[in-house]
Structure 1
Amino acid sequence: MLTGTLPFLSDLTRSARFTGCVYKLTEISAAGTRLTQPLIPRWSHPDEGIRATMTSTLTLPPVITSTAHISTPARRRFAAPAVGVLAGLIAAVGSGTPSYWGDEAASVLSAGRSLPSLFHMLDHVDAVHAAYYLFLHFWMSVVGTSEAAVRFPSAIAVGFAAAGTLTLGRQLFGLRLGIVAGLVFAILPQVTRMGAEARSYAFAIAAAVWLTVWLVSLVRHGEVRRRAWLLYGVAAAAATYLFLYLVLLVAVHITVVVAFHASRTVVRRWAEAMTVAAVCAAPILYAGLSQRGQIKFLAHRDYATAWSVLVGQWFSTPLFAALAWALIAVGALTAVGRSRRSHLPSVIVVLVWFAVPTMLLLAGNAWVSPMYNLRYLAFCTPAVALLLALGLDGIGSPIRSHQWRRVALVIGLVALLAAASPRYIAQRGPFAKDGGSDLRQTADVVAAHASVGGAIVFDSSGKPSRKPRLALDLYPQSFTGLTDVALVKGYVDRPALWDQVAPTDSISALILPHDTVWVVESGQDRAEIDAVRGLGYRIEKSFPVHRTTVYELSKE
């Protein structure tokens, strides 16, 4: 609707003060904009109000010459949900095929405890994952513990994150580029991995992007109401309970406030919100610091490498990484060029989100204590998707024809999809997790061949998250009737993640009463086999699984 004034009032109404009228838009064409309305002028009269109805047709200058770039309300309304559903489906398909691996075992076993046992454990370890474990506790009580069911919430979170990426792209660069960013996000290898993982990373991505959408909206609208900002601050604090490393997002949000030239009042409100967030997040920050010893294993892992940062962190394969870095370079260069100068603040925000959290984490890893893991920066994937979308758009910028620019954009998307597809398929293989986790398949072999009355012994070497006895805890129904002779105390009775077990060479008296002993060895290690054979048992059969081998031994 348009509001204007009439230059053709009659003599009768000249004594009145005209206040305006309403025009109805009926036609848009290259020749001009034609407006026709049933007209009810609004005026005041010294003596009495006078009502009149008349019609008029006006032809305005050709302000709008094309409808090609008009985003219809329906397109705006349904684009984000549609891309979100697509991304969620991509993440969910095949997610139940791979076996659980060690980190997921921590999630499933922790969430499967009784609430008193869970809270007792959280007092000693993994407090930073408390919110996710509590959610998973109630989720598993409804849907069970199958891989597909437990991983499904992560796929849903990826869907929300894709919708958020599109929304943020629309805020910063327009709807078309937002849609491209949402589609690119849906196929990023790190995103499709986290969408099929029973960990909190997908939730962290969704929280990060929607918090940023919220902040951009508050800043751009010049919101000054204290209540709106306090809600944002509480939400920011809540996100840290979901994933502690989201505190790094503060650097990005400072950039939003500065780049978009927020007023002094808005800056003050943001500072107040961050103060509230810091107070609310203090307990989880304290818990993280007090339990920081649980990530001391990072000191023994060479994670902070050029390959991790440039390839593994977001792109997984050298081919996808090469294509992605080329597009990022194109996007950054074209976005700060003359045709994109109005987008410079938006580009700065995205570049900071893309680079600064990684730089801060690497600096802390080098100079404070080990803290880098490529999974910890999954919350930066929306920025990666936005930069790739800028690159795809930049490829076609020299092309004058809008049609051929769209063709170039589609070709770029197809190239990214082709580069991502092999990794996506590999992520949905039966041994896709942690370099070949075969916990479920090992449990299936034992269930198929073992009989009631035997003893079972597990390889106790290696790091806890790779020990094959996790198969027993994750799939206990497959080990019914077998005696776990090495168990000292189960994980549910301990303030720790894993079972307490005795060394095999110290439990001879518990093994000897059994005629059959099943030994589960990981890799090339044969310590448990040698220990059992030393008690007078011989190998009857072996069942290679993947990286695990199941042996059946009987008394000689």
Structure 2
Amino acid sequence: MTFALAHPTSSTGSPPVSPPERGFTGTATLLGVFGFLVSFAGLWQPSYWGDEAASVLSAERSLPSLFPMWGHVDAVHGMYYLFLHAWIDMFGASELATRLPSALAIGLATAGTATLARMVVVRSGFGTRIAVIAALVFATLPRVTYMGAEARSTALATAIAVWLTVLLLHILQVSLGPDSTPRQRRRAWIGYAVLLAAGIYMFLYLVLLLPAHAVAVWLSGPHREDGLHRLGAWLRSVGVALALALPVLVYGLAQHDQISFLAHRKQADLATAMVGQWFGSALSALVAWLLIGSAILWVFRRPRLDPRLDPRLRARPHAPERRTLLVLLTWLIVPSAVLLVGTRLIAPMYSERYLSFCTPAVAIVIAIGIVALRVRWLQVCTLLLLIALMIPTFLAQRTEFAKDGGSDWRQAASVVGAGAKPGEAVVFDESTRPSRRPRLAMRLYPQDFRGLDDVTLAHPFSDTAGLWDTTVPLASVTDRLAATHTVWVLENVGSVESLRGTDVHDLESIGFTEAASTTIQRTTIIEMTR
């Protein structure tokens, strides 16, 4: 097997390395369709949850309301919200409609993973096999199937990350070849800068991909001087990208308090990150990490190529396959290490979802580990075993209450919609954090609350600079219920169990009594009448 990071120039005297055959485009496309279908399957099943509520509500704002919001909150998601705004205008705000772009992005990323694997493994026998295995593993990774069914930007950012890497390798292998002109090289680096800037606007943490790209550029030249020259050109392109992305970088740093909630969560350690970050379950993580270890041992224990056969190796001590694996391991490890160490030493910044863009590298290294098993039937059985171990996680992700440990807003809204009549009132529990408040059921499924009087609303979210509605305590506006005979109360289960809930107590104090109560998952719907 031969790996390559650069297109050898004729001056080295070595034979040229062919880029992926054009015939592989059809294979990559079919794999992309497979990746889309896996993520698309059942994505409409789970109810929305808090992060998706932020996406949908922000995207449903008018543009005059959306732009000022970025100056106060969620500037790092501004590009995605703008995209989703246009998407919702065309296709609506159902779970199927808003999650569909993520599934499409996973299809694109699956094709990109296959293409990238085929570019770095250039001998067709093993190259095509590794590319196909990598795409199949990528499409079925629990982290991928999760982000492929969520109305957030991580799937789009992952697609940008993998195709940005494909573009970089194309530049290193082709655009910097002896037959290219200075104009072609400038245009290639400008294209890289623009796509990198777009990726940062889509997901700020995509800057953590740059160390892997730096390693790829440094190891790409046949001589050390070539590596330095290419690294300088790459750094200039990165500088242009960062300049283009300066607004989101500045606002992102200014709004860093947005991720302060991570401080209130249990801090991840290395063991939990190795399982939950990409693989979903301990058993599938064990098999995956064994395969990653197999890839490392297989590549680094292989004998080095003879410098007399490949003059490039006189200036580069690592064989081509080792360079490739170094790049993939940098992509796989460095972003995670930065966030884990930064969380420990600086401030909370780690979340498993933030490392979603590393999944293409994870899949390719696992594919190399599978092919390292040599025996074809053993490779097939190992691939099928890994996929089988990940299926239970996929099925759990497609249940009604799969999001955020049991989000049930759609089901709660349907209970209200089935029983409430226009002119009646609705009251929402405000005792939990905004992204978990039952009030979001009304915002995400408004058809079930049509005609009801939201008595505690002070300002709708679209009239504020924040993400959510502002409200007043029920006790201060009970006079608004003077002519109301029925009130629907949506309470968190914990709030109802604790002193019957403040809202329930306030309503009972002015003559309302409980007529019916329904508990879904973590929301209780109480019908109260005079």
TM-score bracket for this pair, using the shorter chain length: 0.7 to 0.9
Match of 1:437 among 407, 412, 426: 407
What amino acid maps onto 2:188 in structure 1?
A
Mapped pair 1:317 → 2:263: no
Question: Is this contact kept in 2: 1:454–1:481, CA < 8 A?
Answer: yes
CA distance in 2 between partners of 1:347 and 1:220 (Å): 17
Question: What is the CA–CA distance in structure 2 between the aligned matches of 1:453 and 1:279, rounded to whole Å?
Answer: 54
Equivalent position of 1:506 in the other structure: 476
Match of 2:229 in 1: 265
The match for 2:198 is: 238
Indicate conservation of the 8 Å contact 2:490/2:525, yes or no.
Answer: yes
- Which residue in 2 is equivalent to 1:446? 416
Q: Give the Å deviation of 1:326.
A: 1.4
Return 488-497 or 539-548, whichever deviates more: 539-548
Distance, in Å, in 2 between the alignment partners of 1:359 and 1:410 is: 32
Corresponding residue for residue 3 of structure 1 = none
Q: 1:512 to 1:154 in 2, by over 3 A?
A: same
Q: CA deviation at 1:71?
A: 12
Instruction: Indicate if the aligned counterparts of 2:493 and 2:519 stay in contact, CA closer than 8 A.
Output: no
Quote the Cα distance in structure 1 between the aligned partners of 2:245 and 2:508: 55
Shift of 1:74: 6.8
Q: Distance in 2 between matches of 1:308 and 1:521?
A: 32
Distance in 2, matches of 1:309 and 1:125, equals: 28
The letter for the 2-side match of 1:141 is D
Query: Which residue in the other structure is 2:128 paired with?
Result: 175
1:24 aligns to what? none
Name the CA distance, whole Å, in 1 between partners of 2:418 and 2:204. Answer: 42
Name the counterpart of 2:362: 384
Q: Does the CA-based 8 Å contact 2:20-2:118 persist in structure 1?
A: no
**CA offsets, 1:107-138, max 9 Å, x none?**
00100111101112112111111111111111
Corresponding position of 1:364: 342
Cα-to-partner distance string for 1:326-375 (whole Å, 9 max, x where unaligned): 11111211122216854110010011111001111122222222111111
Partner of 1:39: none
In the alignment, is residue 254 of structure 1 matched against residue 254 of structure 2?
A: no
Q: Secondary structure of 2:524's match? A: strand
Q: How far apart in 1 are the matches of 2:332 and 2:97?
A: 32
Q: Are 2:401 and 1:426 equivalent residues in the alignment?
A: no
TM-superposed CA distance for 1:72, in Å, is: 10
Instruction: Name the CA shift for 1:523/1:305 in 2 (closer, same or farther; >3 Å).
Output: farther
Instruction: Say which of 238, 253, 256 aligns to 1:274.
Output: 238
Note the alpha carbon deviations across 1:13-49, whole angstroms, 9 max, x for none.
xxxxxxxxxxxxxxxxxxxxxxxxxxxxxxxxxxxxx
Structure 2 residue aligned with 1:285: 249
2:152 to 199, 203, 210: 199
Q: Is the 8 A contact 1:308 1:374 kept in 2?
A: no
Q: CA deviation at 1:296?
A: 1.4
Distance verdict in 2 for CA 1:71–1:245, change over 3 Å: closer
In structure 2, C-alpha distance between the alignment counterparts of 1:342 and 1:138, rounded to whole Å: 45
In structure 2, distance between residues paired with 1:247 and 1:98 = 31
Other-structure match for 1:413: 383
Matched, 1:186 2:171: no
Report the CA distance between 1:468 and its aligned residue.
Answer: 0.6
CA distance, structure 1, for counterparts of residue 281 and residue 155 of structure 2: 20
Match of 1:533 in 2: 508
Q: Secondary structure at the match of 1:423?
A: helix
Q: What residue in structure 1 maps to residue 297 of structure 2?
A: 333
State how far apart, in whole Å, the 1-side matches of 2:371 and 2:158 are.
Answer: 24
Q: Which structure 2 segments of 5+ residues have no match?
A: 1-17, 122-126, 305-318
Task: Specify the SS of the correspondent of 2:518.
Answer: strand
Deviations along 1:157-215, one digit per CA (max 9) or x if unpaired, are: 00111111111111112222111101100000000000000000001111111111111
Higher CA-based Rg: 1
Task: Tell me the residue number matched to 1:124.
Answer: 72
Q: Post-superposition shift, 1:307? A: 4.7
8 Å Cα contact 1:226-1:269 kept in structure 2? no
Q: What is the CA deviation profile of residues 287-312 of structure 1, one whole-angstrom value per residue up to 9, with x for unaligned ones?
A: 10111121111121224333541111
Letter in 1 for 2:199: A
Aligned to 1:347: 325
Amino acid in structure 2 at the alignment position of 1:281 = A
Residue 497 in 1 paired to residue 474 in 2? no
Q: Quick check: 471-480 or 219-228, which moved more?
A: 219-228
Q: Structure 1 residues 167, 339: closer, same or farther in 2, change over 3 A?
A: farther
Q: Residue 311 of structure 2 aligns with which residue?
A: none
Instruction: State the Cα deviation string for residues 46-103 of structure 1 (Å, max 9, x = none).
Output: xxxxxxxxxxxxxxxxxxxxxxxx9995741211101001000110111011111110
| Residue aligning to 1:13 | none
Contact 1:512–1:535 under 8 Å retained in 2: no
CA distance in 1, matches of 2:421, 2:22: 62
1:539 aligned counterpart, secondary structure: strand
After TM superposition, the structure 1 stretch with the greater mean CA deviation from structure 2, 450-459 or 240-249, is: 450-459
Query: Counterparts in 2 of 1:99-114, with a 5 A limit?
Result: 99-114=47-62
Q: Is the 8 A contact 1:230 1:272 kept in 2?
A: no
Q: Judging by fraction of residues, say which structure has more strand.
A: 1
Runs of 5+ consecutive residues of structure 1 not aligned to the other structure = 1-69, 398-404
Instruction: Tell me whether 1:477 sits opposite 2:447 in the alignment.
Output: yes
Q: Could you tell me how far apart the structure 2 residues matched to 1:416 and 1:436 are? A: 27
- Distance of 1:497 and 1:408 partners within structure 2: 52
Q: Is the 8 A contact 2:218 2:230 kept in 1?
A: no
Question: How far did 1:258 drift?
Answer: 1.6
Give the alignment's Cα RMSD to 1 decimal.
1.7
- Corresponding residue number in structure 1 for 2:32: 84
TM-score, normalising length: structure 1 = 0.83
Q: Give the counterpart letter for 1:87 in structure 2.
A: G
Q: Which structure ranks higher in relative contact order (CA pairs < 8 Å, sequence separation ≥ 6)?
A: 2
Distance 2:45 2:424 in 1: 30
Mean CA deviation greater in 143-152 or 307-316: 307-316
Q: Could you tell me whether the CA contact under 8 Å between 2:31 and 2:135 is conserved in 1?
A: yes
Distance in 1 (alpha carbons) for counterparts of 2:21 and 2:330: 31
Instruction: Answer whether contact 1:233 1:273 (CA < 8 A) is retained.
Output: yes
Of 259-268 and 522-531, deviating more is 259-268
The CA distance in 2 between the partners of 1:376 and 1:228, in whole Å, is 28
SS at match of 1:519: strand
Bigger mean CA offset, 261-270 vs 197-206: 261-270
**Structure 2 counterpart of 1:460, from 430, 444, 450:** 430
* SS of equivalent to 2:490: strand
Counterpart contact for 1:453–1:483, Cα < 8 Å: yes
TM-score, normalisation: structure 2 = 0.87
What is the Cα deviation at residue 238 of structure 1?
1.6
With 348-357 and 325-334 compared, the bigger mean Cα shift is at: 325-334
User: 1:189-244 CA deviation, whole Å, 9 max, x = no partner?
Assistant: 00000000000000111111111111112123335622211221122112100100
